[in-house]
Amino acid sequence: MSHDEQGKPAATATGVSRRGFITSVGSGAIGVAAAGALVKGAPPSPPPDTLKAGDLSAVTITVNGRRHQVLVEARWSLLYVLRDRLGLTGTKIGCERGECGACTVLIDGKARYACMTLAVEADGHEVTTVEGLMQGEELGPVQQAFAEDDAFQCGYCTPGQVMAAEGLLRENPSPTIEDVRHGMAGNICRCGAYAHIFTAVVKAADLKRGGR
């Protein structure tokens, strides 16, 4: 049986099926000519999306449920576009090298570093930032739990922590403290508020389930 990345049965890809493709290449002693045929003989697909160096090109990114058409350079990070082009400064800049977590956002529901994601790679995807967790003027459950449990000090890493927690809870709605420690291990809090972060995430899970 075929599985996608989540272990659920996957639909067969169009054209050469993934299975078929893997099998044909994977059979071992495949010749150069055959491989060439395989590659060149693949069914026609639309021309590649191309961004010229230095040019501004339009991409469509859905941020917090709203579709944005943004002009971007190929090298621009999603972090830069969120903060400096869309004015969503809740997502913080900490290292720009995927080593601190302050810029954590959800992309298609999964926690990712906006600094390590080219904006063009988010083209056609759904991005959720800390602003997107608000329910109108009310805090969302993770935010509420962070506030109540004093799960921050200077608060600068907090939006990233909140988004990492949101991502974790979407995958694991009832985490243990150990699950939380592993799930939150991609966000540095230099103030060291981890102990409160751990209880806040557990509390947030409860709030999300409708608890109080």
User: Is the CB of 61 or the CB of 152 nearer to another protein?
Assistant: 152
Site for another protein in 167-206 (CB under 8 A): 167-168, 177-178, 180-198
User: Is the CB of 83 or the CB of 208 nearer to another protein?
Assistant: 83
Residue pointed to by tokens 């947030």: 204
Contacts of 138 (CB under 8 A, 6+ apart): none
Contact mark string toward another protein, 122..161, x via CB under 8 A: -------xxx--x----x---xx-xxx-x-xxxxxxxx--
- Written as one letter, the residue type at 74 is A
Helix or strand (DSSP H, E) at 104:
strand 104-107
Residues in contact with another protein, counted by CB under 8 A, come to a total of: 118
Site for another protein in 31-90 (CB under 8 A): 31-36, 38-40, 42, 45-46, 48-54, 73-77, 80, 83-84, 87-90
User: Is the CB of 62 or the CB of 153 nearer to another protein?
Assistant: 153
User: Is the CB of 36 or the CB of 211 nearer to another protein?
Assistant: 36
User: Is the CB of 52 or the CB of 67 nearer to another protein?
Assistant: 52
8, 27, 105, 108, 129 from 3: Cα distances, Å: 5, 20, 27, 19, 30
- To another protein, the closest distance from the beta carbon of 211 in angstroms equals 18
Q: List Cβ<8 Å contacts ≥24 apart for 133-137.
A: 133/162, 133/163, 133/166
Contact mark string toward another protein, 105..124, x via CB under 8 A: -----xxxx--xxx-xx---
Joined together, the tokens standing for residue 78 give 């999603």
DSSP for residue 86? S
Closest CA to 158 of 115, 109, 201: 201
